[in-house]
Amino acid sequence: MSALVGLATVMPAGAASALTLPDDESLDVRGGWVLRVGSAGHKVKALQQALGYPDSAWEVYDEKMRRVVRDRQRALGLEVTGRVNRATWRALGVKAPWRMDAFNQAPRTTPESTRRERVNVMIQTARRYLGSEYVWGGSGTPRRGVDCSGLVLQAMYSAGLHPGGVSLRKHQTTDYSTTDAMLADPGLRHISLDQVRRGDLVFFTSNRSGKVNHVALALGPSRVIEAVEPEVRIAPLADRSSQRLHGVAIRPFPFSSG
């Protein structure tokens, strides 16, 4: 379930209550995960840069990259696994910390913070990413870039909310949908689209696949901040040629019940 600090929540009928934890308690994330086929995100991008990939490369560790890594491991006298552990990372001269994949925004709220204060912090954090590069599977610092759900995730972390249905590690893989995990988390309250206001999460469905493929943070009823190719931006909520609004939104910080 979601971990939420210092705020009474109004949950849907039958949903689990939010778990209260200290705002300054860090996420249980060690990082330094071995890269393999199916990995994604800014750590993959750092590896691609060391391997001489073009900047336009999609941030996915695929079979082709596995073959390239095996060749480099063989040439360097390393164990030939096709995976990148700390030894291979160092031998390849990747210019980024090995545990860069463990980054999460530290909470900037207290247990006494109001809903308004938490929403303000969340939006302030998202605004820090404006102009940051879109990195598929990314959930890093503003300098390293994010994707759409990575941006929203880091904004919620800064406001003291750790969605229990979302895994930071799984977010950095190709076979995990963070947007689906958010929508399925019983600790995150669903609202109708006509209720959307500042601080809510709005989702979009692909016209082609019919699946949810995007999430953005509402700045009000008509504008959002979002990570889309090529960068994080502020944009209108409507007028999307390839997407339509999903049927429900999420209110991360519901109004107090009393």
- At 226-241, the pLDDT tens digits run 999 999 999 999 878 8
Residue 4 binned pLDDT confidence (cut-offs 50, 70, 90)? very low
Rounded-to-integer distance, Cα 178 and Cα 164, Å = 11
pTM of the model: 0.88
The tokens describing 216, both together, are: 């953005």
Rounded-to-integer distance, Cα 141 and Cα 83, Å = 25
User: Alpha helices of the chain — where are they, by DSSP H?
Assistant: 42-51, 63-76, 86-91, 115-128, 148-158, 168-171, 178-184
Q: pLDDT tens digits, residue range 110-131? A: 888 999 999 999 999 999 999 9
Q: pLDDT tens digits, residue range 17-37? A: 233 344 555 566 678 999 999
Domains in the chain, ordered, with CATH? 3-22+101-251 (3.90.1720.10), 42-91 (no CATH)
CA gyration radius, the chain: 19
Q: What is the pLDDT of residue 166?
A: 85
Give 251's contacts (C-beta < 8 A, 6+ positions apart). 188, 189, 190, 191, 195, 199, 200, 201
Residue 99 binned pLDDT confidence (cut-offs 50, 70, 90)? very high
C-alpha distances (whole Å) from 200 to each of 26, 218, 251 are 23, 5, 5
The tokens describing 240, both together, are: 């999307």
Give 3's strand partners.
19, 162
Q: What is the pLDDT of residue 11?
A: 29
Residue 258 in this model has a pLDDT that exceeds 80: no
Give 84's strand partners.
35
Rounded-to-integer distance, Cα 224 and Cα 45, Å = 27
Q: pLDDT tens digits, residue range 131-162? A: 999 999 999 999 999 999 999 999 999 999 98
Secondary structure class of 83 (helix, strand, coil):
coil
Q: pLDDT tens digits, residue range 199-214? A: 999 999 999 999 999 9
Please provide the average confidence, as pLDDT, over all residues in the chain.
88
Of the two residues 33 and 13, the one the predictor is more confident about is: 33
